[in-house]
Chains A and B, each alone.
Chain A
Amino acid sequence: MSADVDLDHVTIRFGDFTAVQDAHLGIKGGEFFSFLGPSGCGKTTILRAVSGFLEPTEGDVRIGGQSMRGIGPNKRPTALIFQNLALFPLMSVADNIAFGLEVRGVGKAERRKRADELLDLIALQGQGDKKVSELSGGQKQRVAIARALAVEPEVLLLDEPLSALDLKLRQHMRTELRAIQQRVGITFIYITHDQGEALTMSDRIAVMSQGVIQQVGTGADVYENSQTSFVASFVGENNPFVGRITAVDSNYAVVESTFGPLRGRNLSGLRTGDQAMLFVRPESLSYLNGGTVPENTIQSTVVNSEFEGSFFSVFLQGEGSKSIVMSMTNSGDLPAFEQGAAATVGFQADRAVVLPVGEVADE
């Protein structure tokens, strides 16, 4: 069983502080949905409102079409995986997993059977009698998931559950989480500040900043068609160029930057004379060593370059010591980027977006 989750114009205030401002979106049953944003952006507050630990100041949370107002966390069809996992240290692994059944009055034998099934699911067969402290970090992670699944929730909420793991394990758990979600088929709502996690696992992502949902879309969508300067700068790396729009034609706009006119897609209907920001991804930039000249070119000098295995990052400096990052696939015949050498780079207008001037995520 999986349920839709609807945020209906949800606003949450703590005193004078607005943690979430008019969040309005629908999450479909069975979807893997992520809230992505820096810490303090309000994503955890949304999660707590869905799980029932706090009530929206305005608006409503609906699960499976039903309003959740006045319904406590222990009565909602949701289960939450906490950032610190919050396993019960004094109970065995099996007792942890079966806790939700125990409080529902399920008999001991039945509980044990269900716990064993779930232990199978998370590949910890026969470890039910261990203490939680005897498990490794990754195993604890999986026990927390099993404990939440034991109560057969319609919606599973995950609050940055991977942040305590080391890098390699984190990458592994991404695949595992996605696989579990596909197996159980329930709605997953995932909170993270790590765009890599959001992009790899989610069906759709909501990018948040300062309590406001900036954009909702698939990973490719928010990456390629960022709708605000914040999304463009927060999701993936991006090179911003600020300037006034000098010309607009069909779906394109020209921004007069310090490097001269640069042309990109005009997604938000900006008009001539508006201040705007043009964003180009590092991988959309190409090094022009005599090949075809794209629409936009930039003169710069090489600051340094970093070899990263499958690709190269080249750090350039342009007019007014503006720094630009370009990344190039390691095709084997790259030129040597010597420090101080002049470099002309360029990009296709289709690969750049022009957006209103706004908040830029700091690195």
Chain B
Amino acid sequence: MTSARIQSLLVSFYIFLFFLFLFAPLMMMGTAAFNDVEFPQVVPWEGFTWRWFPALLEDDLMMEGIRNSIWIGIGVMVVSVPIGLAAAILMTQVHRKFQTIYYTIVVSPVLMPGVILGISTLVFWDRLGTFVNADYDTFFYSGMFLTIIGQSTFISAYTMLIFLARLQRFDRTQEEAALDLGATHVQVFWKVLMPFLRPAIFSAMGLAFLTSFENYNTTVFTIQADSTLTTVLAGKVRMGTQPDLAALAVLIIAVTLVGAIAIEVTRRREQAKAEAAREEALRLEKAADLPLAEQAAQ
């Protein structure tokens, strides 16, 4: 056995270990979700059961949390996508001198611990509420509102980065061409820029929703008397709980797997389509220009 061969075996073994580590928790949950014992465990195996899945639906607290998480996710999408888009467009236009300082400010929420964002949002709106003498049932003290704002603070930076990446490939002359053809600035925005950004808008919306849905650190401070899926889960996990949590995880994994595969398949299909279009154009280029060129040469 050569040393190169040993080395490549070692590398393979390492990669195997790494992914084992990565997937071990999922496998644990995948197994615990179907184990017929009251406490979430893998061993000893007491027999296969589906019963933890229906149990999920009966858990009112969790259902309430999921509902709130969905509404907050939608709220975060509505707030953070327009903000991220505006911030990205501004970034491409901001004077070179101020670019660094602007960038530092707008990416700082990404680099800040989530708990800090939650606390600062809570404190700020609380003080503002006190200042304007708002009642306790106004939005100043609403857990849902504060959570949307608190999460959007850093999620807007994520969406901005997505838009920025896409905008870097935008050909500015298209904007000028549209203007030159008589479009107003608003028309340029809707008819030229938005269609170009469409994929980025969908990515940003998806990322915003999922990040919001997953968030715990910021939410746990801003949500106050309300609850989200993550705060309910955290409460339950600390109690010790039942295997229905594992069942929930299995559901999430299943949905994710299907989603990930669907995305990959569409991506491949679109790649193939683009490839075909390119070849067609190349073929046409030869077919169409040759007679013209020959004509010109005569």
Residues of A that sit less than 8 Å from B by CB: 51-53, 72-75, 78-80, 82-84, 86-88, 90, 99-100, 102-104, 131, 133-139, 147-148, 150-151, 166, 168-169, 171-172, 175
Contact with A along B153-176 (1 / 0, CB 8 A): 000000000000000000101101
Q: Are B295 and A73 in contact (CB under 8 A)?
A: no
Contacts of A90 in B (CB 8 A): 195-196
A172 to B289, CA, bound (A): 10
Chain B proximity of A278: nearest CB distance (Å): 37
B173 closest partner in A (C-beta)? A86
Q: Are B183 and A103 in contact (CB under 8 A)?
A: yes
Query: What are the residues of chain B within 8 A of A104 when measuring CB–CB?
Result: 182
Q: Tell whether, in the assembled complex, residue A168 and residue B181 are in contact, meaning their CB atoms are under 8 Å apart.
A: no
B288 touches A136 (CB 8 A): yes
Chain B residue with Cβ nearest A95: B191
- The reply to whether B176 and A172 form a contact with Cβ atoms under 8 Å apart is no
Q: A136 contacts B174, CB within 8 Å?
A: no
For A51, what are the chain B residues with a Cβ–Cβ distance below 8 Å? 180
B180 touches A79 (CB 8 A): yes
A103 and B191 contact, CB distance less than 8 A: yes
In the complex, per-residue mask of B125-152: 1 if CB is within 8 Å of any chain A CB, else 0: 0000000000000000000000000000
Q: Are B296 and A136 in contact (CB under 8 A)?
A: no
- On whether the beta carbons of A79 and B293 are closer than 8 Å, the reply is no
Asked whether B281 is an interface residue with its Cβ less than 8 Å from the other chain, the reply is yes
Q: How far is the CB of A189 from chain B (nearest CB, A)?
A: 13
Residues of B contacting A53 in the complex (Cβ-Cβ under 8 angstroms): 176, 179-180
Given contacts A74-B182, A79-B181, contact A169 B176 (CB under 8 A): no
13 A–B contact pairs at CB < 8 A? Answer: A53-B180, A74-B184, A82-B173, A99-B178, A103-B182, A104-B182, A134-B277, A134-B284, A135-B281, A168-B293, A168-B296, A169-B293, A171-B296
B226 → A minimal CB distance (Å): 42
B297, chain A: closest CB distance, angstroms: 6
Residue pair B173, A84 in contact (C-beta under 8 Å): yes
Q: Choose one: A103, A133, A135, A166; the contact of B184 (CB below 8 Å).
A: A103
Q: How far is the CB of A75 from chain B (nearest CB, A)?
A: 8
Whether B179 lies near A74 (C-beta < 8 A) is yes
> Number of B residues whose C-beta is below 8 Å from A?
32
Chain A residues with CB below 8 A from B184, complex form:
74, 103
Q: Is the CB of A73 within 8 A of B176?
A: yes
A77 CB → nearest B CB, Å: 10
Interface string of B179-198 (1 = CB under 8 A from A): 11111100100011001100
Docked CA distance A53–B173 (Å): 11
Nearest chain B CB to A73 CB, angstrom units? 5
Give Cα A150 to B177, complex, Å. Answer: 13
Alpha-carbon separation in the docked complex, A347 to B297 (Å): 33
Question: B285, A136: Cβ atoms under 8 Å?
Answer: yes
Residues of chain A within 8 A (CB-CB) of B178 are 88, 99, 103
The listed residue (B176, B181, B277, B287) touching A147 by CB distance below 8 A is B181
B270-298 residues with Cβ-Cβ distance < 8 A to A are 277-278, 280-281, 284-285, 287-289, 292-297
Per CB-CB distance, the 3 closest pairs between chain A and chain B, nearest first, are A172-B296, A100-B181, A86-B177
Q: Closest CB of chain B to A188's CB: distance in Å?
A: 15
* A172 with B182, Cβ < 8 A, contacts A86-B174, A103-B191, A136-B288 known: no
Which chain B residue has the least Cβ–Cβ distance from A138? B289
A150: chain B residues at CB < 8 Å are 181
User: Roughly how many angstroms separate A88 CA and B177 CA in the complex, as a whole number?
Assistant: 9
B284 contacts A135, CB within 8 Å? yes
Contacts A103-B184, A138-B288, A168-B294 known; list 20 others, CB within 8 Å: A74-B181, A74-B183, A86-B173, A86-B176, A99-B183, A100-B183, A103-B178, A131-B277, A133-B277, A133-B281, A134-B281, A136-B284, A136-B288, A139-B284, A139-B288, A150-B181, A168-B293, A169-B289, A169-B293, A172-B292
